[in-house]
Chain A
């Protein structure tokens, strides 16, 4: 049995993804409201994060996997979402004349990308296309912790490192040279709920928002998990009792 446990521990130790060669500094950990078995999103935090995304990030980064109607989960009303969608224009068509035309956004539309294609995005940004953010919180090791740390991790480059033009020094980015200039500065956004918009606050809020964007079903998943596990524990207990009962006549 001890051997089994050691093997199991070893299996889990390396099974959890590739080991990290020493890139990037250790991330500051943050206790998110959505961590843990009973984790949930905090709507005000998500709304603030969404505001940061809209006012700062969306200039360069798309969010194409999220539809406007999904924002209902953040607590926005159907009318608010309709109005928000209508702020965007989309190309549609062809009409009966065979021409493409522009129309207002609808709740069923997805967030647009700021650039028409990858190449245009790279061209406008010094050769590196700003990635779409829909899955960023799951697409990097460290998840939302990484996103938050990265946004707070811009610093003056140490004297001995030579950062080429167009790159910026970031403590947490693997290799420490990132093509994105520091996007957040104090009060870059004015929060409607009056929360002071420090860099840390905005980084935290937008990281939480991006976690929601990457995994909108997180709350349903954890909630279902509790019910399923309790059911299974009871069921397995009953099965064990039944097993003992049936086997009792053999000894």
Chain B
């Protein structure tokens, strides 16, 4: 009946056979990964989303003492044109007493412009303080109405359940009044 003994059963034949199967298996793995990768990468931000990954902001219309809110990557950005009083208040703090110790100088590039992400680091509500008449909390910065977090004029957490200071987004000044966020 069918011949079950395979001819050419020498060691050489076996290594060649093993190489063949190894090559087939390896190429198969490579091919599968290469085929799956586009599917995974397609879920990464697309070109149109990446194009909106940075926003340019003209600061010149913002007066001293005025706060504005802009959107960046779907998040609110609080921009505060700080008067000298706010800057002084931010800098006359003992850093060690802060829950999230950070010097004001490390949180701003130009002292009179504070730029932070307006999302409370507790559970994600938007703290109040941007609009005229809003409560600003005990330190004159921002107050989160959801669970009572107080942020100071540098956006640092002073009281309440939030663990961290308001995040500072990456930004750079393109000139004196034009800043690119992201």
A contacts, CB < 8 Å to B: 67, 69, 107-108, 231-232, 234-235, 238-239, 241-242, 245, 248-251
Contact A235 B21 (CB under 8 A): no
Given A242-B21, A249-B4, A108:B31 Cβ within 8 A:
no
Q: Which one of A231, A234, A235, A238 has the greatest number of beta carbons of chain B within 10 Å?
A: A238
Contact A239 B24 (CB under 8 A): yes
Pick the residue among A107, A235, A245 that contacts B27 (CB under 8 A).
A235
What is the interface of chain A mostly: helix, strand, loop, or mixed? helix
Q: Which one of A67, A232, A235, A251 has the greatest number of beta carbons of chain B within 10 Å?
A: A235
12 contacts between A and B (CB under 8 A): A67-B48, A108-B51, A231-B30, A231-B31, A231-B34, A238-B20, A238-B23, A239-B24, A248-B6, A249-B6, A250-B3, A251-B3
Tell me whether B75 is interfacial, beta carbon within 8 Å. no
Tell me whether B73 is interfacial, beta carbon within 8 Å. no
Contact B48 A108 (CB under 8 A): yes
Closest Cβ of chain B: how far from A116's Cβ, in Å? 23
6 closest A-B pairs by CB? A249-B6, A108-B51, A235-B27, A242-B24, A242-B20, A238-B24
Tell me whether B2 is interfacial, beta carbon within 8 Å. yes
Residues of chain B within 8 A (CB-CB) of A67 are 48, 51
Tell me whether B178 is interfacial, beta carbon within 8 Å. no
Besides the known contacts A238-B24, A239-B24, 12 further A-B residue pairs in the complex with CB atoms under 8 A apart: A67-B51, A69-B47, A108-B48, A108-B51, A238-B27, A245-B20, A248-B6, A248-B7, A249-B4, A249-B5, A249-B6, A250-B3
Residues of chain B within 8 A (CB-CB) of A250 are 2-3
CB closest chain-A residue, reference B69: A96
Tell me whether B89 is interfacial, beta carbon within 8 Å. no
CB closest chain-A residue, reference B52: A108
Q: Complex: how many Å from CA A93 to CA B142?
A: 27
Contact A235 B3 (CB under 8 A): no
Tell me whether B17 is interfacial, beta carbon within 8 Å. yes
Closest Cβ of chain A: how far from B137's Cβ, in Å? 23
Contact B31 A235 (CB under 8 A): yes
Q: Complex: how many Å from CA A26 to CA B12?
A: 62
Q: Complex: how many Å from CA A10 to CA B19?
A: 41
Contact B28 A245 (CB under 8 A): no
Contact B51 A107 (CB under 8 A): yes
Q: Complex: how many Å from CA A61 to CA B4?
A: 73
Residues of chain A within 8 A (CB-CB) of B31 are 231-232, 235
Q: Complex: how many Å from CA A208 to CA B79?
A: 46
Residues of chain B within 8 A (CB-CB) of A238 are 20, 23-24, 27
Binary per-residue interface labels of chain B (3-17) against chain A in the complex, 1 for a CB within 8 Å, 0 otherwise: 111111000000001
Q: Complex: how many Å from CA A248 to CA B7?
A: 8
Residues of chain B within 8 A (CB-CB) of A251 are 3
Closest Cβ of chain B: how far from A93's Cβ, in Å? 13
Residues of chain A within 8 A (CB-CB) of B2 are 250
CB closest chain-B residue, reference A227: B34
Residues of chain A within 8 A (CB-CB) of B47 are 69
Residues of chain A within 8 A (CB-CB) of B48 are 67, 108
Contact A245 B52 (CB under 8 A): no
Contact B28 A235 (CB under 8 A): yes
CB closest chain-B residue, reference A107: B51
Residues of chain A within 8 A (CB-CB) of B27 are 231, 234-235, 238
Q: Complex: how many Å from CA A48 to CA B5?
A: 71
Closest Cβ of chain B: how far from A78's Cβ, in Å? 11
Q: Complex: how many Å from CA A238 to CA B47?
A: 38
Closest Cβ of chain B: how far from A88's Cβ, in Å? 16
